[in-house]
Amino acid sequence: MCGLAGEVACAAHSRADVDRALPMLQAILHRGPDDVGSWDDETGAACLLHARLSLVDIAGGRQPMASFGGEVVIAFNGEAYGFERLRRDLERRGVTFCTRSDTEVLLQLYLRFGPEFVRELQGEFAFALVDRRNGRTMLARDRFGIKPLFTSVRNGLLLFGSEAKAILAHPWSERQLNLTTLNRELHGVFLPQDTLFCGISAVEPGTYLMVSRDGIATHRYYDLDLEAAGTSRLTFEQATEALEATLTEAVRDRFHGDVPVGLFLSGGVDSSSVAALAGTASIPQVSAYSIDFTGTAESERAAAEHAADRFALRSVFLDVSAEGIEQAFESSVWHAETTVPNAHGTAKMLLAQRAKREVKAVLTGEGADELHCGYAYFEHAALLSNAAAGEQRPRLSQFLAQHGPRDGVLGAITPTIRRRLAGGSGRGGVPYAAMRAYVAGRGVRFMTNADFRRQAEERPDQALLQWLVHRSPEARSLDDVTLSRFVALHTDLPHYNLGFLGDRAEMANGLEARLPYLDNRVVDLLWRLPPQFHRSGGEGKRVLRAVLARRLPRTAERPKRAFLSPSGSSRDLLRGPLAQRWLSMAAIRRAGIFRPAALAAVRQLVGPSQRSRSLGFYLSAHLTTALSAHLIADMFCDRFAETLSRRAAMSLCDLRARLSRNRQLPRAA
């Protein structure tokens, strides 16, 4: 919905300065093209900057917003679903409102109930709230990390922003790659606090910070209940009914607002279910936006058209070509702020650009696979666990004959590796992400140079397991599949799927995504279902498929297909002028991450390797990752000021002029 940034004093003699912080807002203006606002406290305790994408109460919802007496000020990004109910509850307590916005509801909830009001929120959000009465600032992020929020401490100030580039734009920021995080990413490990930049951290999902001149305190307000996993006593039929009702309500809630709302439709189970339930919820004709990789095996046009026709959706297809991907790849990396092994996020960014011509928000299907065992690797995790205990080895061999890296399955993971990571006793769950990182080590050692490996000597598989012990000491008592779901929901999902493939691709175009599968009620229901309701006999998302089968049986039977850029597009990208420049010997040596001989050898093999889909996928992923890493080192570290000047939506001079016209701070009742 928006972008926010600012400074908060976290030491005795520090002072926030809105003019100094202004480049932070410049860096994220793409997130909120409709309006800008700023506020600073005369005592220097904090300053807030806001770029608004207006969806609810367009005229009255300007930000930052202050309480009637000016004692509390908030800058909010996202959506609070069901805020109308919360508003009615407050009105019964005697509260009056000046606007129709959810932002004012949050402000009044804080005034009545303090920081813990965040436990009652439903939706995707990040916000900064300054309480001038006690000199404290609250920074909060939603339960699952749908909306991003980053922080950094510099010279007694906590800097915060909706994207890392907001903090990098601050004049006090250093701009250096965090090689430990980069090494983790190369191994497929995405810890929730990590960023690729030294001194910048992500606020973890489900937490809020309380910041004052006395320091910074972190509070966790939400967590998945480990003891509740798989405890539901619903029958399969009852679970199907419950999911249909709960998901329908979640879909209906996400069509609220004062602007047109559409949806992304791939033709797969997740997005087709959202489309089907939008019809059930009596939503007027909806536009469905789909990617078409024309003439490739990855094209899902026929399936998407089938769903759109069945539910009377207005179908809009964007033909994404190899040329289009190459032209937009650098821009997508700028917005992603992370390394990428495939250009699928670039395609998603182009789709968001097309959708933004007609709508300001879309419903998407992210989160369903992690919650409901949609990925094939969940089955691989179960088979590895069984084989490590001496059971069902033939089934493991049959599975590996049918699945490969394009499905997220790594055949190099063996039961022996699983036992090794479980510890000497062989007991204790092992998340698939740790096994994936373990086997990735050989390839990373081949690709990276000795200096990089010396500076990033940590073993990412062990870092992940150590994080897990610290984060949830009891988690390894879970079985491998449930533990893998838990880890995926806390690591891969917020960092990569909701970040690069979600928020960053969409908000690059000022388009808001709304995620019904990450509705609080849907998550609670799916988390509690028995494991066999999620995946059994090679079929994932069984309950969701049962819901969809009532309306679209052909799609409900479709096997899971990963959303990936076609191999031909990847090959063209890696042969094109962008790769010629950024994978050149000079670029490789300047970045100092990869071995020139290794990248040269991989580039030579990319063409011939297409005879082997698995090998071709691996090699293309390595090269695309290297390409994105070199772009990040250049854009964010070596030439950040130049890149920001070229890519920002507005100059600092024009931004100051626009803010000067918006001096009056909106007030709540």
Region class of 46: left (phi > 0), else alpha (psi between -120 and 50), else beta:
beta
At 164, give phi and psi (nearest 5°): -60, -30
Q: Can you tell me the distance from the alpha carbon of 104 to that of 64, in angstroms, rounded to the nearest whole number? A: 10
Q: Which residue, 438, 433, 434, 380, is CA-closest to 409?
A: 380
Reported in sequence order, the residue ranges of 293-360 that DSSP labels E, i.e. its strands, are 314-319
Determine what percent of the chain is predicted with pLDDT higher than 90: 80
The rounded mean pLDDT for the chain is 92
Taking residues 165-194, what's their average pLDDT?
Answer: 97
Q: Can you tell me the distance from the alpha carbon of 499 to that of 519, in angstroms, rounded to the nearest whole number? A: 17
Q: What is the DSSP string of 54-90?
A: --SSTTT--SSEE-TTSSEEEEEEEEETTHHHHHHHH
pLDDT tens sequence across 74-86: 999 999 998 889 9
Fold observed for domain 2-175+647-660: Glutamine Phosphoribosylpyrophosphate, subunit 1, domain 1 (3.60.20)
pLDDT tens sequence across 416-441: 999 999 985 445 799 999 999 999 99
> CATH code for 229-566?
3.40.50.620
Q: Can you tell me the distance from the alpha carbon of 38 to that of 20, in angstroms, rounded to the nearest whole number? A: 12
Burial class (CB in 10 A: 0-12, 13-18, 19+), 656: middle
pLDDT for 56 equals: 77
Q: Which residue, 77, 50, 29, 166, is CA-closest to 654?
A: 29
Q: What does each C-alpha distance from 299 to 447, 556, 565, 611, 638 come to in angstroms?
A: 32, 18, 10, 20, 38
Q: Can you tell me the distance from the alpha carbon of 591 to that of 579, in angstroms, rounded to the nearest whole number? A: 14
Listed by start position, the domains of the chain span: 2-175+647-660, 229-566, 567-638
In the beta sheet, which residues pair with residue 655? none
Question: Identity (one letter) of the amino acid at 532?
Answer: Q
Residue with tokens 């007027």: 284
pLDDT for 411 equals: 92
**Contact in structure between 158 and 6 (CB atoms under 8 Å):** no
Q: How confident is the model at residue 559 (pLDDT cuts 50, 70, 90)?
A: confident
Taking residues 30-38, what's their average pLDDT?
Answer: 94
Q: What does each C-alpha distance from 258 to 51, 60, 81, 87, 456 come to in angstroms?
A: 18, 12, 14, 17, 49
pLDDT tens sequence across 369-417: 999 999 999 999 999 999 988 776 788 999 999 999 989 999 999 999 9
Buried b (16+ CB within 10 A) or exposed e, 272-309: bbbbbbbbbbebeebbbbbbbbeeeebbbbebbbbbbe
pLDDT tens sequence across 646-658: 999 999 999 999 9
